[in-house]
Amino acid sequence: METVTEANGVWQECMKIIHGRVNNLSYKTWFEPVVPVSLSNHSLVLKVPSQFFHDWLEEHYSTVVNESVKVVVGENARVEYTISDEDINETEPLFYRPAQPGRPGPQSLPATSQRFSAKPAFESNLNPRYTFDNFIKGDSNQFARAAAYAVANNPAGTSFNPLVVYGGVGLGKTHLIQSIGNYARQTGRAERVLYVSSERFTVDFVDAIQKDRANEFSAFYRRMDILIVDDIQFFAGKEKTQDNFFHTFNALHQSGKQIILSSDRPPKELKGVDDRLVSRFTWGLTVDVQPPDLETRIAILRKKSEDDGIHMPDDVIEYVAANVTSNIRELEGSLISILAKASLNNREISVDLAKEVVRSLAVSRKTAVTVEDIQKIVSDVFDVSEEQVRGKTRKQEIVIARQTAMYLTKELTQLPLKTIGSHFGGRDHSTVIYACQIIAEHLANDDRFREKYDRIKKKIEMIGM
Ligand code: ADP
Ligand code: MG
């Protein structure tokens, strides 16, 4: 614990320096959410909320951060980041962990590609960010929320067992099912709560089989008071895993434990999932979440900006709510992008800015553009070859084409910087960052360049049509 306190103190000092060097909005947006995790061997570990957040900090504020840390800790100080996002890449199977609190703290991983969860110790695997309190109610989710709340208040005590929540991407399924777990634990209604994705369950199961630890695996899952399994559609086609899950399900159900599942479609429409399992899924209650209506979208945007301590003018909120209609993740994404653009370019948060953000979101969604598409179109417009765009040539006109392509890839795909670099002759993430800075400058200062850039972007927009 000592290093945490120390890390806290160090980070507080750094924050003072940073506050003097960036504008207030940037400070609120990009530095207040950062949590110091540990300090050892001159390495300060900072936890950030997402990969996007991490990339953004690295891209725009690495100098400020590094310099402030050097001032506070000393010349040889380093900063490492961990991401509290999702636990996709945890390698240690869940069931190997000690069941009591006090799991060893986060270890630092190599910079940039690290992705480990800094969630609370204990096996629950729940993200404390997901609560009923910050789940906005609306017609689209009212019934699902009420059912979830009932289950949270009385795990295994209602006929909603299992509770299955289904619906499209980004509509709040994970948020809702984790809220049940968080609530039940916090109020003492359940002690042993476990959240896993079905993929995680599968990977751990395969691992257990290989290591001859299948019994341990089964025993672990059957100890839970509440078992939450996310995205069960990924069980499709995995017969052995399904078989194990079938028995786990029965064991839990029979001993009066609560099971909560989510899926991207109603259980009956699951393909490649054994009928007997599907029939179990329909024993309890199945509820859906629908895309949010306009009022709910407005309420969500208000709440999120309030939570971030950011003032979003009403017209901006209404513009975004009216134009980003598909799902809540994209709503959040637009909000972050607006903040990002405003804080970076020192611009006011305005409807114009919102329009820009919504437009590039629309482009990337409509076209599902690939790196190859971008490379091809950029090489056409710049009149160089695609190989040159990907290659090593340092000729000025090729370098600028390559940097433009990198910039567009960053803008229009969700790819991490490292991956982008790998598509351009195996360059590293700092090269991509540098390219993005150069292009941002050209766009701001060079009308001829901007015209070319707009032409490229139009061509990309045409792809999906
Ligand atoms: P899904 O699992 O259905 O793909 P998520 O639960 O991951 O969707 O939700 C996507 C994002 O939207 C999350 O950050 C979540 O917190 C947020 N979100 C979803 N529904 C709501 C809601 N009703 N109120 C507030 N935030 C929400
Ligand atoms: Mg989900």
> Quick one: DSSP state of residue 233?
G
Decide if 134 is inside a domain.
no
For residues 283 and 401, membership in a common domain is answered with no
pLDDT tens per residue across span 275-327: 999 999 999 999 999 999 999 999 999 998 888 788 899 999 999 999 998 88
pLDDT computed for residue 3 by the predictor: 58
Whether the Cβ atoms of residue 374 and residue 386 lie closer than 8 Å to each other:
no
* Residue 464 confidence (pLDDT): 55
341 and 387 inside one domain? no
Alpha helices in 74-194 (DSSP H): 142-153, 173-186
Find the helix or strand (DSSP H, E) in which 165 lies: strand 163-167
Query: What percent of the chain shows pLDDT beyond 70?
Result: 90
Query: Greater confidence, 214 or 3?
Result: 214
The answer to whether residues 361 and 379 belong to one domain is no
- Which of 130-144, 171-185, 314-328, 329-343 bottoms out in mean pLDDT, i.e. has the lowest? 329-343
| pLDDT at residue 90 is higher than 90 | no
Query: What would the mean pLDDT of 32-61 be, rounded to a whole number?
Result: 86
**Nearest atom (ligand 1) to Cα of 168:** 3
If asked whether residues 284 and 300 sit together in one domain, one would say no
Indicate whether residue 231 lines ligand 1 (CB < 6 A). Answer: no
Q: At 354, which CATH number?
A: 1.10.8.60
Q: Are 32 and 147 in the same domain?
A: no
22 lines ligand 1 (CB under 6 A): no
Residue 46 lies in a domain: yes
| Residue 264 sits in the same domain as residue 344 | no
Residue bearing the bigger pLDDT, 129 or 231: 231
Is 13 within the bounds of a domain?
yes
CB burial string 191-228: b at 16+ within 10 A, e below? eebbbbbbebbbbbbebbeeeebeeebbebbbebbbbb
DSSP per residue over 372-423, as a string?
A: HHHHHHHHHHHT--HHHHHS----HHHHHHHHHHHHHHHHHS---HHHHHHH
For ligand 1, whether the C-beta of 170 sits within 6 Å is yes
Q: Looking at the structure, do residues 260 and 191 belong to the same domain, yes or no?
A: yes
- Residue 71, domain extent: 4-83
Contact status, residue 72 vs residue 17, Cβ threshold 8 Å:
yes
Contact 80, 43 (CB under 8 A): yes
For residue 406, what pLDDT is reported? 95
Residue 169: CB within 6 Å of ligand 1?
Answer: yes
Ligand 1 touching residue 171 (CB < 6 A): yes
Residue 83 bridge partners (DSSP): 48
What protein residues have CB closer than 5 angstroms to ion ligand 2? 173-174
pLDDT digits (tens, 9 = 90+) for 253-266: 999 999 999 999 99
Q: Pairing state of beta strands 43-48 and 35-40?
A: antiparallel
Range scoring the smallest mean pLDDT among 62-66, 100-104, 119-123: 100-104
Site to probe by mutation for ligand 1, drawn from 166, 199, 261, 329 as the one with most ligand atoms within 8 Å of Cβ, is 329
Q: In the listed set 310, 343, 367, which residue is the last one of a domain according to the structure?
A: 367
Strands 163-167 and 193-197, bridge-based pairing: unpaired
Look at residue 88 and tell me if it is in a domain.
no
User: Considering only CA atoms, which of 143, 187, 167, 188 is closest in space to residue 230?
Assistant: 167
Sign of the alpha-carbon torsion through 151, 155, 158, 160: positive
Angle between helices 351-367 and 396-412 (to 10 degrees): 90
pLDDT at 108: 32
**What CATH number is given to the structural domain containing 55?**
3.30.300.180
Task: Examine residue 273 and state whether it is found in any structural domain, yes or no.
Answer: yes
CATH of the domain at 228: 3.40.50.300
207 found inside a domain: yes
The residue-averaged pLDDT of 426-440 equals 89
User: 419 C-alpha to center of ligand 1: Å?
Assistant: 26
Q: What is the CATH number of the domain that holds 417?
A: 1.10.1750.10
- With a 6 A CB cut-off, is 324 part of the ligand 1 pocket? no
Distances (CA, A) of 381 to 389, 397, 401, 449: 12, 12, 9, 11
For residue 65, being part of any structural domain is answered with yes
Residue 195 sits in the same domain as residue 271: yes
What is the pTM for the complete model shown? 0.71
pLDDT at 115: 31
Task: Please report the atom of ligand 1 found closest to the CA of residue 129.
Answer: 16
Number of domains in the chain: 4
Please indicate, yes or no, whether residues 363 and 453 belong to a single structural domain of this protein.
no
Q: What are phi and psi of 341, to 5 degrees?
A: -65, -40
End residue of a domain, out of 243, 258, 289: 289
42 Cα: distance to centroid of ligand 2 (angstroms): 37
Q: Are residues 280 and 416 in the same domain?
A: no
**Based on the domain organization, do 260 and 169 belong to the same domain?**
yes
359 and 391 both lie in a single domain: no
Which has more pLDDT, 412 or 227?
227
Q: What is the pLDDT of residues 371-420, one digit of tens each?
A: 999 999 999 999 999 999 999 888 999 999 999 999 999 888 777 888 89
CA of 150 to the centre of ligand 2 (A): 21
Report residue 101's pLDDT band, with 50, 70 and 90 as the boundaries: very low
Final residue in a domain of this structure, among 343, 367, 391 = 367
**What pLDDT, on the 0 to 100 scale, is given for residue 364?**
66
